[in-house]
Structure 1
Amino acid sequence: MRLLEGLVRPYAWGSRTAIATIRGRRTPSAHPEAELWFGAHPAGQSQCLADADHPARSLLAEIEADPPAALGPAVIDEFGVRLPYLLKVLAADEPLSLQAHPSAEQAAEGFTRENAAGIRIDSPERNYRDRWHKPEVVLAMTPFDALAGFRDPARTVDLLRELSLPALDPYLGMIAGQPDCDGLRALFTTWITLPEAVLASLVPAVIDAAVAVAAGGESEFGAELRTLLELGEAYPRDPGVLASLLLNRIHLNPGEALYLAAGNLHAYLRGTAVEVMANSDNVLRGGLTPKHIDVPELLRVLDFTPVSPAQLSPTESVLGAERIYTTPAPEFRLSRVDLDGTGMHLPATISFDMPGPQILAVTAGRIDVRGGGTVVTADSGQAVWLADADPDVIVAAASSKATFYRARVPG
C-alpha cells in the first residue's frame, strides 16, 4: 500500500475552485486546474509518497520495479506490463473540445501507420500517441453537462425546423430525407468540411435564429439552444457549433454516470466529475478547439449510430456502502463509497478482499486503509495505491464523513 499524490493538469478550461477545494488548498487557485490524475500514464504520473519503508517515486516506477507484485499475473497476461486504467478528477468551467476515441484495432493500426510515416510522438500533428483504445466512464460529483452520441435523427429534424432558418434548409433536407446513420454521416461531414467563409456567415445566422426561438417563449430544445449560444459565443466560426445540434445534450445529477465507447463523438461542457478511462492518450478532435483536427481520420473512427442518453448509462448496483458502475470496458471498473465515521447513517468501514491493482481516490473527508499490520491515511485530494500482492484491506472513515472512488480491473 502506498499513499499517492495526484498530478494537477492546468488546462485553460479548468476550474479555479473545484480541485483546489477537494485538495484543501486556497481558492481561487493561481491558474485554472482542469484535471487531477491518479495513475501511471507516462504523460502524467502520480507520486508514491515516502514512508518509513519506501522512498518517494512515481507510480510508474513502483510498478516497473516489480510488475507481478504490482499488477498480478492476470492483468499482465491481458494488458501487458502496464496499469490498464487512469483515474482522474475532472473540473470543467468551460467546454472541452469535441472529440472521439478510436477502437483498439483503429488505435493499433493508426499508431503503426504514423510511426512508419516518421511523425514524432510529441508532434501536434500526431493523432495516435499509443496503440491503445480509450473507453471512459464519467461519474458526476456536481451537476454535470455534456454532449454525447448522435441524437435520434427525427428529433434533430424537429430541432432544425424549430430554428426556421432558410440557410439551414439544404442541410435539413439531407437529414430529413435520410434520417439514419448514413444521413447523420453525410450532414456531419458536410458541416465539418464547410469553407471558413461559409461558416463565417452560417454560424452567426444559426445563433441569431436560436436567440429568436428563445425570445419567443419556452422551447422543448431549450437546453440544446442555450448550449448552442454558449459555444457560438466562444467559437463563432467553428463547425463544432453546428455539430452540437446533432448530439444528445445530457445533464447528470451527482451520482449519475455516462459511459463512452469507441467512436462516440462527445464534449464535456461544465461540472466536476470522476473519470476513469483506459490508459491511453489517443484523441481525434472535431472542433471547439485550436488544436489539430484531422477530419479524414476523425470520420474513420466515428460511430454515427444514433443512441439515446439511457443507452450511454452504465449499469449500477449497490453492495453495502459501495455503489458500482459496470461498463463493457475490460480495463476498469469504477465505484463510489460513502462512509460515516460515526456509524449512525452509513457504515463506518468497508472491507476489500479483491486483488489489485486498485486506486482509492478520496474526494471528501479522510480514510484509514488497514492491511497486514500497516495503516495508510489519505486526506481529501489524495489516493491509496493497492498492489496485487497487498493483503486484504479494511477501509475506515477517519472523519465524520468520507467519500472515495475505487478504480480496479474487473474480476
Structure 2
Amino acid sequence: MPSASHATLTTSVTPELVRGALELEETHDGLLPHRLPAWARAQCTDGQLAMAESQPSGVRVVFRTRATVVELETVPTKRVYAGAPPRPEGLYDLLVDGRPAGQASATGGNTVTIDMSTGSAEMSTGPAGSVRFDGLSDTDKTVEIWLPYNEITALVALRTDAPVEPAPASGRRTWLHHGSSVSHGSDAASPTTIWPALAAAAGDVDLVNLGFGGSALLDPFVARTMRDTPADLISLKIGINLVNADLMRLRALGPAVHGFLDTIRDGHPDTPLLVVSPILCPMHEDTPGPTAFDFSRLAEGKLAFVASGDPEERAEGKLTLNAVREELERVVETRAKDDPHLHLLDGRLLYGERDDAELPLPDGLHPDAAAHRLIGERFAARVFAAGGPFGVGD
C-alpha cells in the first residue's frame, strides 16, 4: 500500500464527481462548473453575472475512497480590486462523512484586476495550484470538497493514495435556491458556512445554489433554468439587487414577479415554493438605489457601499426595500389563494433591526460570518422544521 504521505493515484475530475453545478464546461484549464446553462448565459452579456454564475458557490467534488491523502488540482481565478484592501483567499472546505475535516486555499491560478472607478478588468494567467488534505482515516468514507464561493475554479484532477469512485446518490431532497450576493456567500467565512449551506445541512437536503452576487434581477432565463432543474423544494430571495441596480420601477415589479413564478410553476406545479423578501439593509430600507462604492471609506482602505438615491423618489415609483416587501406580500397573498404550496417569509425575521445593532453589516450591504450563521440557523428553524414550508411530510 502506498505511503500515507504520498498521493500516487491520479483521477480526472469527471461530471460524476461534481454536485451542485448545472453544467460543466471543458476548458483548456480543466472542467469549469457553471451555475447557469450555456443557453441561459448566451442571453445576457453582463460581466457581473458571468463572473457570479461561474463562481462555484455550493458546488462540491464528492466521492468514496479509503484514501488518507487527498489532493485536488485546480486553476483558480482570483479577484483583486485596484486601490482596495486585498480580498480574502478562497477556501476549500473538506467534509468527511458530513463532518468538517479541514480547510485549505489554492495557490497559483489566474488573477482579474478590477478598476472600480472605470469598471475595467485585466486578466493575468498563472499555473495550476492544488489543495492537500492528509491524515485522513483509511476507512471507506464519503469525501466532499466544497469549492470557494468567491473564486472561479477549473477542476483538473484528484490525487490520492487509494482508489476513488463516485458516491451514490444521497437520497436526500434537493433544494433549489435563487438569491443575491447574500445567498451567493458574501462575506461568509467559507463555502460550507454561507447561510444556504448551513440551512441545507440543518435541513438534511442537497443544495443547488443559484445565488448570484449582484444578479438576482428576475431574469426570465433564470426562471426557465429553475423550471427545468429537478427540485423537491424551491426558494427565491428577491429584492436587494433590484434596488442596488435601480433596475425597475414599482409598476414593473409585480408583473415581473408574477411572470417569474408562472415560469417556475410551469415545471414545478406542486413543489413547495418559498418567496423570501429582503433581510434588513438600513441604507436601502427607505432610500432607493443605485448602490455606489463609498470612496471616502475606500480612501481609508475599507470596502463599503452607500445608497445614492433620494427617499423622495419612492413617490415616483423607485424601489426601496420596504416597497419591495410590500409588493411581494401582495403578490404572494394573491397567488396563494390558488396555490397552497406557495409561501412567503419576511427576510427581517432572518436578520432584522436587533441583529443590525449586534451584528451590523460591515460594508453596509453584506452580512459577516456570524450573521451568515444566524441567518442559516433561523431559516432552518422556520422553514425546515415540522410545520414549516419545507417541513418533512408537508
TM-score w.r.t. structure 1 length?
0.24
Select the structure with the greater relative contact order (CA < 8 A; seq sep ≥ 6).
1
TM-score w.r.t. structure 2 length?
0.25
